[in-house]
Amino acid sequence: MDKHKELKELFNKGFTSLENRLNGGTKGELHTYRKDALKRFNELRFPTIKDEEWKYTNISPVIAKYFKPSADSAVIADAKGVDRFFINRNDFIHLVFVNGRFSDELSFGWKETEGFTVTNLKTAIKDKPEIVSGYIGKNAVIEDNIFTALSSAFIEDGTFIYVNKNTVVEKPVHIFYVTNSNEEIMNAPRNLFIAGANSQIKVIESYEALSSAAYFTNVVTEIFLEEGAVVEHIKIQDEALGAYHIARTEVSQKKASNYLSYNVDFGGSIVRNNLHTRFDESGAENNLRGLYLTSGSQLVDNHTRIDHAMPHCLSHELYKGVLNDSSRAVFNGKVMVRKDAQKTNAFQENKNLLLSEDALVNTKPQLEIFADDVKCTHGATVGQLSKDSLFYLKSRGFSHDTAMRVLIYAFASDVVHAIDIPEIRDYLEKKIAEKLATGLEN
Amino acid sequence: MSTTETNEIEKLANQEYKYGFVTDIETESAPKGLNEDIIALISKKKNEPEWMLEYRLKAYRHWLKMEEPEWPNVSYTKPDFQDIIYYSAPKNRPKYNSLDEVDPELIKTFEKLGIPLEEQKIFAGVAVDAVFDSVSVATTYKEKLKEMGIIFCSMSEAIQEHPGLVKKYIGSVVPYTDNFYAALNSAVFTDGSFAFIPKGVRCPMELSTYFRINASNTGQFERTLIVAEDSAYVSYLEGCTAPMRDENQLHAAVVELVALDNAEIKYSTIQNWYAGDKEGRGGIYNFVTKRGLCKGVNSKISWTQVETGSSITWKYPSCVLQGDNSIGEFYSVAVTNNMQQADTGTKMIHIGHNTRSTIVSKGISAGVSNNTYRGLVKVGKKASHARNYSQCDSLLIGDKCGAHTFPYLEVNNPTAIIEHEATTSKIGEDQIFYLNQRGLSTEDAVSMIVNGYCKEVFRELPMEFAVEAQKLLSVSLEGSVG
């Protein structure tokens, strides 16, 4: 595996130049963490389809590309045109990153905050190093995942949110990771969201591109919910169609906290999402919703894991997919109920619509249960639109295509209906309709 | 649950295996270990034709290159393949004309198992090909079946008398390259059953083989092959008990079913091998490869299994739905108690058009056991209008056991409709209370609820088996409630 060695070499070189650039930032605990991550990265091997976790997702195209760490890139981040992605200019807090670099002039609403801190990670590392190193790497461990190790070795910037206890952040925080590069680069943003006791926050993460060259986003997000915290987290992945996106989100939940996740995938050539949540104390709840609309030769792989480590917790999961052309989707949902996690309720569902002959879906809902007083169900379906529904609409004067579109839209938009931010919900519904309209034309 | 109940339950849970005993019959055994000479010896002892030996050797050479699989959700001490006796036959095998000539020890064994041969003859409709260790010792009803053109005999006999048929079908569903244990079995299998139902014949009785593991340190490598020609029908039963002992015994069987146009094969299993003692010592390793091929159009293969025994069960009776409109079914009840581990399920491979499959799996875990359902539903690119319905339910009894489900759905055709549902729950306190209130003891209440829970599967079993299965379930679970 010389290629792998070469690639590792390349990243090691990139790391040296990162160290030079950090210039003094190489002391502190955080840098020790970076170095540990790099060490682990060098020890781990790239997964192949022989690894159960990567059975259906072949990442060799990602490895074949020799992506450079983005900060090394000579390309100056050009932020022109970024504002077209903004959904609500007035009422949201905006943070914009271009090619992994924070853009001060495009971001707004983030400075004049009270009771909470929204900033870029670089600033947080400077201002609150003890908080950052107190949380970073606590949820997303580098041991078992080479991409997490790689991303962690290159921690430089990203989003840092800290909400003080009993604070309700009224304005949704909208974070944009925009890529505009003709070079093949790797962006490794790192997000750290900490919601204090009884606080509430809504965060939207958007991945967009202005350029069309292949690039690689390798993002790690860690979310901490203290007692009674409520976090609504919407991730909109709309990367360029030639891009690779590997994301890992790790959530830990304390007593009676509530985590809501919406994970919507539109873009990307190979996409892999790992969303893991863990109940650290009892009485907590989460709701994970996902939607993937794929066409062309896209591959979207969603791995979720809900760890019921404590009793009296509740989890709901609904992932839906619409697959067209020769696209592929993978769903692997694991619900784990630990030994003493009695009175656990866990419900999981995965539904897939195949629209073309060549589309392929591999789904594996998985339950691992070690407690007896539990209610756990999972369901998975793969199918087409019901002929009766189609007939009904056609008999009411809908053309075949319109009828199809209406039904698929109803199937897909169900996932985003419950989003609490009307602008985002409307945006996503429109986006779904657009993607379906173009997808169905062929 | 109250303490008295718990005590009673514990008492019942500590019951020893009811069918544990060793029959003392001298056996003629090959030396321990596995090499090409041993394989040649097995082949020679059984007076096999050259092609059979070659097949065995090819399998053995392939096996040497393979690694023991690690992926199942079970943990155990790996068997030492050089510490197993691969051939043992009851000595001086006589040809019996009547039951009186049969070794009385053997008759006693069968009586303890509750299958007295003399009664078997009277029992309407059950022909028994009893396998005592690796060699068949008694066969009944053969004459009657022969008249209809049905061949039902031991594998060794089939190799002697119907080499053409065996050669044509053996390894056609489970090739020796399939997996580690299938390769091992192909190399060293000693006996098994062979059934052939010719065109248009509906087998008038349930064919049945009682497998029995005896003789210390003998791995049992059974090979079963059932072929149903066009429009034929057969129902085959397999049931087992085993003597109690301390060393792990490996059982790696291969079962192959072939159904041609419009044919139907129904294969039912009750497995109650020794599961080891409370600490999990001893007990059978049951690593079986079972697969049916729906080769012809409108063919149907149905697997029904009740798995209560073995310390480790690891098997996936599968259907390859190759013929158009073919149907595959899988009904399973898997019970684990104490230290037992089961990783079982099915594979439904849809290849032909309009193929349908149904999976109903009921897992029950008690004690500190682990019960895993692992299933694959695969719809090939050309398999238009495939339909699958899967349901796998787990019931947990006690808070130290585990239930796992790993369903894999791989769908490559947009016209497929695939549904999978799974639930995990425990027996409700209110359900037990209701039955207590009606005068049933907690024990009986649990037994009744569990039987109700498994009814969907038991319904698929032939009558006599269904009764046996219910009893077995009560025995296996008795006292595990708590």
Quick one: CA dihedral A393, A395, A396, A398, positive or negative?
positive
At residue B470, the pLDDT reads 75
d(CA B367, CA A306): 25
Inter-CA distances, A78 with A1, A218, B403, Å: 37, 20, 54
At residue A286, the pLDDT reads 95
B192: CB partners within 8 A, 6+ apart: B131, B154, B155, B222, B223, B224, B225, B253
Helical packing angle, B50-65 and B180-188, nearest 10°: 150
Put simply, the answer to whether B401 touches A383 (Cβ < 8 Å) is no
Put simply, the answer to whether A342 touches B399 (Cβ < 8 Å) is yes
| Model pLDDT for residues B35-76, shown as the tens digit of each residue | 888 888 888 888 888 899 999 999 999 999 888 888 887 888
Put simply, the answer to whether B424 touches A374 (Cβ < 8 Å) is yes
Contact list in B for residue A376 (CB cut-off 8 A) is 423-425
Contact list in A for residue B419 (CB cut-off 8 A) is 379-381, 383
At residue B136, the pLDDT reads 45
pLDDT band at B5 (very low <50, low <70, confident <90, very high): low
Give the pLDDT mean for A409-430: 92
| Model pLDDT for residues A150-195, shown as the tens digit of each residue | 999 999 899 999 999 999 999 999 999 999 888 888 999 999 999 9
Asked if residue B321 has pLDDT above 90, the reply is: yes
At residue A234, the pLDDT reads 96
Contact B118, B128 (CB under 8 A): no
pLDDT band at A394 (very low <50, low <70, confident <90, very high): very high
Which helix (H) or strand (E) segment holds residue A381: the answer is strand A374-383
ipTM for the whole complex:
0.72
d(CA A55, CA A148): 18
Contact B273, B186 (CB under 8 A): no
Quick one: CA dihedral A116, A120, A121, A127, positive or negative?
negative
d(CA B200, CA B40): 39
And the tokens for A53?
């976790």
Q: Which amino acid is at A378?
A: H
State the virtual CA torsion across B23, B28, B34, B36 in degrees, nearest 10.
Answer: -150
| Model pLDDT for residues B257-284, shown as the tens digit of each residue | 999 999 999 998 888 777 777 776 777 8
Asked if residue A113 has pLDDT above 60, the reply is: yes
d(CA B409, CA A350): 11
Query: How many CA atoms within 13 Å lie on the side-chain side of B93?
Result: 15
DSSP track, B60-124: HHHHHH------SS---PPP-GGGSB--EEESS-PPPSSGGGS-HHHHHHHHHTT--HHHHHHST
Put simply, the answer to whether A367 touches B416 (Cβ < 8 Å) is no
Asked if residue A75 has pLDDT above 60, the reply is: no
B interface with A, Cβ–Cβ below 8 Å: 71, 381, 394, 396-426
pLDDT band at B247 (very low <50, low <70, confident <90, very high): low
**Nearest residue of A to residue B368 by CA position?**
A370
Contact A38, A153 (CB under 8 A): yes
Asked if residue A241 has pLDDT above 60, the reply is: yes
d(CA B408, CA B378): 8
At residue B157, the pLDDT reads 83
pLDDT, averaged across chain B: 78
| Model pLDDT for residues B206-241, shown as the tens digit of each residue | 887 654 344 333 457 888 999 999 999 999 888 654
pLDDT band at B108 (very low <50, low <70, confident <90, very high): low
- Closest by CA to A274, choosing from A45, A37, A52, A53, is A53
Inter-CA distances, A37 with A54, A137, A144, A158, Å: 21, 10, 11, 17
Give the pLDDT mean for B117-128: 40
At residue B95, the pLDDT reads 42
- Of residues A172 and B18, more confidently modeled: A172
Q: Which amino acid is at A243?
A: A
Asked if residue A20 has pLDDT above 90, the reply is: no
| Model pLDDT for residues A339-372, shown as the tens digit of each residue | 888 889 999 999 999 988 888 999 988 888 888 7
Helix residue spans in A136-220 (DSSP H) = 146-153
At residue B339, the pLDDT reads 84
d(CA A341, CA B399): 10
At residue A357, the pLDDT reads 85
Give the pLDDT mean for A76-104: 82
Chain B nearest CA to A293, separation (Å): 15
The alpha carbon of residue A64 and the mean position of all alpha carbons in its chain are separated, in whole angstroms, by 23
**Nearest residue of A to residue B71 by CA position?**
A52
d(CA B454, CA B391): 12
Inter-CA distances, B460 with A305, B266, B457, B463, Å: 36, 9, 5, 9
Asked if residue B7 has pLDDT above 70, the reply is: no
Contact B373, B404 (CB under 8 A): yes
Contact A326, A358 (CB under 8 A): yes
Q: Which amino acid is at B388?
A: N
d(CA B112, CA B106): 10
Domain boundaries, given as residue ranges, for chain A: 3-281, 388-442
Give the pLDDT mean for B380-405: 88
At residue A270, the pLDDT reads 95
Put simply, the answer to whether A365 touches B422 (Cβ < 8 Å) is yes
Put simply, the answer to whether B394 touches A371 (Cβ < 8 Å) is no
Which of A52, A380, A384 shows the shortest C-beta gap to B415? A384
- In this structure, the strands spanning B284-294 and A230-237 are unpaired
At residue B165, the pLDDT reads 92
Asked if residue B243 has pLDDT above 60, the reply is: no
Contact list in B for residue A371 (CB cut-off 8 A) is 396, 399
- B75-99: string of b/e by CB count within 10 Å (b at 16+)? eeeebebeebbbbbbbeeeeeeeee
Q: Which amino acid is at A204?
A: I
Contact A212, A240 (CB under 8 A): yes
At residue B124, the pLDDT reads 29
At residue B211, the pLDDT reads 43
At residue B104, the pLDDT reads 61
d(CA B319, CA B337): 28
Give the pLDDT mean for A107-131: 86
d(CA B309, CA B273): 4
Cβ pairs A/B, distance under 8 A: 112
| Model pLDDT for residues B282-306, shown as the tens digit of each residue | 778 888 899 999 999 999 999 998 8
Asked if residue B482 has pLDDT above 80, the reply is: no
At residue B213, the pLDDT reads 42
And the tokens for A181?
């590069």
Give the Cβ contact number of residue A129 at 10 Å: 15
A248: left (phi over 0), alpha (psi -120 to 50) or beta: beta
| Model pLDDT for residues A288-340, shown as the tens digit of each residue | 999 999 999 999 999 999 999 999 999 999 999 999 989 999 999 999 999 88
Chain A nearest CA to B122, separation (Å): 46
Give the pLDDT mean for A278-296: 95
And the tokens for B463?
């009558």
Contact A405, A436 (CB under 8 A): yes
Map tokens 């697997």 to a residue: B303
At residue B478, the pLDDT reads 62
- Of residues A302 and A141, more confidently modeled: A302
Contact list in B for residue A381 (CB cut-off 8 A) is 417-420
Contact list in A for residue B406 (CB cut-off 8 A) is 364, 366
At residue A257, the pLDDT reads 96
Q: What is the CA radius of gyration of chain B?
A: 22
At residue A59, the pLDDT reads 86
